[in-house]
Structure 1
Amino acid sequence: MFVLGHAKVERPEGTRLIYCRTCRTGRNATVWRVRLWMTAFGARVLPMWILERFLVCGRCGEKYGMDILNLNPGKSAPPFDQQMLRTMVYAALADGLVDDAERRAIGKLYDEQFEMALLEDQLELEISAAKRESTSLNTYLEQYAELMTPRQKQTAVELAYRVMSAGGPPKPGHQRQLHNLCPTLQMPPDEFDLILVELKRRPIGIGR
């Protein structure tokens, strides 16, 4: 009896340079091809069509779709603690100034999140640098969104909201920047809305 079947076969077909979100730098990744074969009695006899191609980072083993090649391997983000410090500063500046309640909130949140004390001079330098750049919270985060993990995006939303709420309900300038974070960070709207609902349920307890 002649027994026909199909089998999926994975085979490497070279390497490409990618920006690995886990390693947070450019890495060589192996391109893997998944092809469907016709089999007879369990043996491959006829190659058919390619089902998939994907990449695997050569250092950490993270798997990526081929669209990762659209990212510039040389592109990088600042260390996450520095990135979130600037995020909080831009969140405070969404209404044009950083008041005392927001300063205290930034210091406390930085300590809670990264277990590092934030020196007063360091915060003032960040505020001055942010003002010189004359940009906004969303413009700042937009350049790093595609490099951030889902958890990092959630952290950015949480820190921004808590700073904006440090002295009371977010002001109109705060609210506009806050709600624009959903498309900026490329987050699913239902996930973003759930984060805000949970944040609004929690007592802020900073700067009141």
Structure 2
Amino acid sequence: ISLTTWFRDYLYIPLGGSRGTTFKVVRNTFIIFIVSGFWHGANWTFIAWGFLNALYFLPLMLRGNNRKNVDLIAKGRMLPNFREVIQMLSTFALSVFAWIFFRAPTMSDALLYIKRIFTTSWLAPLQHTGMEVFLPLLIAVLMCIEWVNREKPHALQNISGPILKYKVARWSYYCILVWLIIWVGAQQQSFIYFQF
């Protein structure tokens, strides 16, 4: 049983789910997301993360749009339209903003991180490692691979293209990925769920 299924079956549905008055729908949504935050840890940062996700979800729920727009973006087309680009960017920005609270050790740290996002101080660590050019380029390449293969079950697993049909190119790609995993893994960051 997944955490989502457990919350739905043992908390959300017994509370009344999405049936009832608007107040009950709002209450149930906040309870689910805040309990989800509390499940991740007994810290105000996780509660804030759950609260933000409830705020993000409520407009969809109240308008009845929570089950719409779950298809692939730009299905059958190479590029998304302007509206789809805005939707993707806003979803990404809101998700990453909530993750600040999820990853921060304390609320004051989370607020400090948010403050520093709007300065150039976050670029300083990249400048000392030579990553200020390499990292954005790597992210752009991986995003392009992901986008082109978005209709496949596992985008990176099913990479296709004339270049990667050659063994040398394909194995070079694999070696680069292994090198990146080892290089990034050398920083010895513990898996986040080991702390719970």
Do they fold alike, i.e. is TM over 0.5? no
Structure (1/2) with the larger helix percentage: 2
TM-score normalized by the length of structure 2: 0.21
TM-score normalized by the length of structure 1: 0.20
Higher normalized contact order (CA 8 Å, seq sep 6+, divided by chain length): 1
* Higher Rg of the two aligned structures: 1
